[in-house]
Chain A
């Protein structure tokens, strides 16, 4: 009984300098382990006019007796991350709050250990978004496979490809194709290969040269395959010239200079710019314009669209360019995914409308649904 009373007295005496209230330590959420977050709430810590300014953070394992200093933080910071913890080991933290006059308050946390998480819960909104996208796209691909016909509106830029290649044939001049600056990882370059395949089929049929100067070695190799396959498909593999699909340079303006030179020397009747373009877009398109070539451009680079619109005859804007793949191939699976894209656009439109209304009426919490951790 005496011992119990002694313990209670000592506990009460120590309370002002050693307490759990207002401070806590938790395993840092949504991380790959080895990290513990120490939290203090300045409002819950009775500062007794000490004017607390900084916090010294110390730790020890459950089995150790001595404290190890791991950092110092401003009092107003509220949190400190110990990213030198070992997973599975229990740590106790001691926080020494120091005031302007040098006096300190000491707080201690309960034992806590760090661990790695399997799932980042702050990204659940992204997961839901992806699941919705996948579901919608797969649903329309499935419907398309089952024979449902989807309408794709005529895209003037793609309709003009046939006419442009025909004009080159009439004039007996080559067609020049450029995929711009993108590498094979860019979706715009992948879309460009589909358009290239369709163009190559036409140049193979009409027996006119297709020149494809390139900015990326991998794209060159892929393009050679794509063009050869297209020539073989039309029954004219003998007309395929590997030398006309060649790698130039990785340099942006080195590429622009070389393509300009090719245009001025070989005078193509048709220029097709399909891919990712940067500042070189206007240099290419204006040179093409000066030699009187018919020019069609398609790009995902919004800033270059304005340059292409001024200097080219037809331009594929925004997702028109990505629709080219389905439009040219008429592949039901790709057409299905196009329809899915349209439905997703409706979903995005509704969310934008809801967001605008919510924020207008002060429900800013709606925005938090879309923040990513």
Chain B
């Protein structure tokens, strides 16, 4: 058992080193692989493009800091699109760590487009108990968030003049590293009929597909690849586009590892038979 354990650890070490190289090298030496835009990303882009100026979207930063490399490019791309089209953004976070990140993202991207806090965008901050928070905003956003992240009464901001609940919101965009968009679908979309757009980590994408197919979602932007596709549509390559080469090489390495693993498995099986 020890010998087997020891052997396994050695193989694991080699795999780990290979993976580190597969991710790091393409970030240093660019490959510039072409990117195809998928329909689900195009749908989101088209929807945001179709919104009239001064519409309001709710962007929820439902993630921890651990997934920032995937979440920030997703957030930046959609925020740039909204601000470029003069769409107002109300931000919030249903996970505690998303609050600081969301505030920073909003402020930074709004600054690029010279948007004014309180008029063009607002950050409401964090609310625990996400189920209750989602339901409660369906009745009255100001009741759930009487004050913004800075502690100011939200009624003082002109952006809130005609906003009471989801009826006044064009879409909810959940930037999430977990299954939070499912709660938005179950409680905000199913109950209050608001449109939901999930922007999730690649690993969560397949969870969203059934809801995408059933028409409960406007579209889907998933992972670094989704963000890179969005950046391509925006015509503004950013963080995600840079990471796509690394993702390709990492996937190829995993495919090769599966093949090598099977070759080793068959050799061992043959040896055992002999």
Binding site for B on A (CB under 8 A): 181, 185, 250-253, 278-279, 290, 292, 301-303, 372
Contact = CB atoms under 8 A, between A and B. Distances in A.
Q: Which of B5, B66, B96, B206 has the most CB of A within 10 A?
A: B66
Nearest to B191: A372
A292 B1 contact: yes
Interface residues of B, number: 20
Interface string B205-219: 011000000000000
B1 A279 contact: no
B43 interface: no
A279 B70 CA distance: 13
A185 B206 contact: no
19 contacts: A181-B178, A251-B97, A252-B177, A252-B178, A253-B64, A253-B66, A278-B178, A278-B179, A279-B67, A279-B177, A290-B8, A290-B9, A290-B12, A292-B1, A292-B5, A302-B207, A303-B204, A303-B206, A303-B207
B254 interface: no
B274 interface: no
B131 A185 contact: yes
B204 to A, nearest CB: 6
Contacts, number: 34
Q: Is the interface of B mostly helix, strand, loop or mixed?
A: helix
Nearest to B4: A292
Contacts of B131: 185
Contacts of A279: 67, 177-178, 201, 203-204
Interface of B: 1, 5, 8-9, 12, 64, 66-67, 96-97, 131, 177-179, 190, 201, 203-204, 206-207
A266 B131 CA distance: 36
Contacts of B97: 251
Contacts of A251: 64, 97
Contacts of B207: 301-303
A302 B67 CA distance: 20
B190 A372 contact: yes
B179 A301 contact: yes
Q: Which of B5, B8, B97, B203 has the most CB of A within 10 A?
A: B203
Nearest to B180: A278
Given A279-B201, A292-B1, A303-B206, A250 B96 contact: yes
A303 B201 CA distance: 12
Nearest to A303: B207
Given A252-B64, A252-B177, A292-B1, 13 more contacts: A251-B64, A251-B97, A253-B64, A253-B66, A279-B67, A279-B177, A279-B203, A290-B8, A290-B9, A301-B179, A302-B207, A303-B204, A303-B207
